[in-house]
Chain A
Amino acid sequence: DGGITQSPKYLFRKEGQNVTLSCEQNLNHDAMYWYRQDPGQGLRLIYYSQIVNDFQKGDIAEGYSVSREKKESFPLTVTSAQKNPTAFYLCASSTEWREQGEQFFGPGTRLTVL
C-alpha cells in the first residue's frame, strides 16, 4: 500500500530533551512537509523540502530541525529550544513542485513534553 507513515503515534519526553519524529513515504513524492497543529487550531508549517538535500523554513521553524538525506524520509527533531513543544505533528508529501499537485498526510504523532 502506498502512503505516509509516522512513528510513533504517541510520544512522551521530559522537558529539555531533544526528540526526533519519523516520517516515511513510498509515494515517490519529491516534496515533504512538517506541520504543527494545536487544539482547535489549523495547521502551521514548520519546514518543507522540495527535493533531497534541500529544505526551507516555514512559519514556525524556531526550535525545530530537519534533514532530507533520502527522498522517502523527512525526520523532524524537536529541540530543547522549542518553548512549547506539546502538540500534534503532521507530516505530508506532495507531487513534484513544478506541477500542480495534491498533498497527502500521515496519521500524525502526538508529542507530550512533561
Chain B
Amino acid sequence: GQQLNQSPQSMFIQEGEDVSMNCTSSSIFNTWLWYKQDPGEGPVLLIALYKAGELTSNGRLTAQFGITRKDSFLNISASIPSDVGIYFCAGQVSYGNQFYFGTGTSLTVIP
C-alpha cells in the first residue's frame, strides 16, 4: 500500500520549545489529517486540511497542506508536558476513501 514518509521519527525537546514535523507522499492527496495518540489509546484527530496551501490552527498547533499536495507540516508552539505522545499524519487519495498513515513521530517533552 501507499507509504507516507513522516519525519522525524522521534524528538526530545525542552518544555517551551517549538516543534516541527512533516509528512511526504509520492501521490497527490485530497485531504491531510494530523492525529495524536497516547499509549494504549486510539488516535485523536487534531487538524484536518482540505486545500493546497491551507494553513489551519488548533490552539498551539498549526498545520499546512503543501502546495504540491504531496506533503503536510505540523508545528507545535511553546510545548508543554502534555504534548507528549505519538503524532501521525494521514492522507486521503483523490480517488477513494482509503486513508494512508505515516509511521509516526514520537515526541518527548522534558520539563
Assembly CA distance A6 to B40 (angstroms): 13
Across the interface, name the chain B residue whose C-beta is closest to A49: B97
Chain B residue numbers with a CB within 8 Å of A50 are 97
Which residues of A (62-114) have their CB < 8 Å from a CB of B?
Answer: 88, 90, 92, 94, 97, 100-108, 110
Interface of A is mostly: strand
Provided the pairs A90-B43, A104-B45, A108-B42 are in contact, do residues A58 and B97 lie with their beta carbons within 8 angstroms?
no
Assembly CA distance A108 to B42 (angstroms): 6
B44 at the A/B interface (Cβ < 8 Å)?
yes
B102 at the A/B interface (Cβ < 8 Å)?
yes
Chain A residue numbers with a CB within 8 Å of B73 are none
Which of B14-22, B55-63, B75-83, B88-96 lies at the interface with chain A?
A: B88-96
Other-chain contact of A108, B40, B96, B103 (Cβ < 8 Å): B40
B99 touches A106 (CB 8 A): no
B33 touches A103 (CB 8 A): yes
Q: How many interface residues does chain A have, given as a range?
A: 20 to 34
Across the interface, name the chain B residue whose C-beta is closest to A105: B42
Across the interface, name the chain A residue whose C-beta is closest to B3: A42
A33 at the A/B interface (Cβ < 8 Å)?
yes
B1 touches A58 (CB 8 A): yes
A48 at the A/B interface (Cβ < 8 Å)?
yes
The 8 A CB mask of A1-31 against B (1 = contact, 0 = none) is 0001010000000000000000000000001
Chain A residue numbers with a CB within 8 Å of B99 are 33, 45, 94, 103
Nearest CB of chain A from residue B58's CB, rounded to whole Å = 13
Provided the pairs A90-B42, A108-B41 are in contact, do residues A43 and B30 lie with their beta carbons within 8 angstroms?
no
What are 7 residue pairs bridging A and B, where the CB atoms are less than 8 Å apart in the complex?
Answer: A48-B98, A101-B92, A101-B97, A103-B45, A105-B35, A105-B42, A108-B41
New A-B pairs, 7, CB < 8 Å, besides A94-B99, A101-B97: A35-B101, A41-B104, A88-B40, A101-B31, A101-B92, A106-B42, A108-B40
**Interface of A toward B, CB cutoff 8 Å:** 4, 6, 31, 33, 35, 41-45, 48, 50, 58-59, 88, 90, 92, 94, 97, 100-108, 110
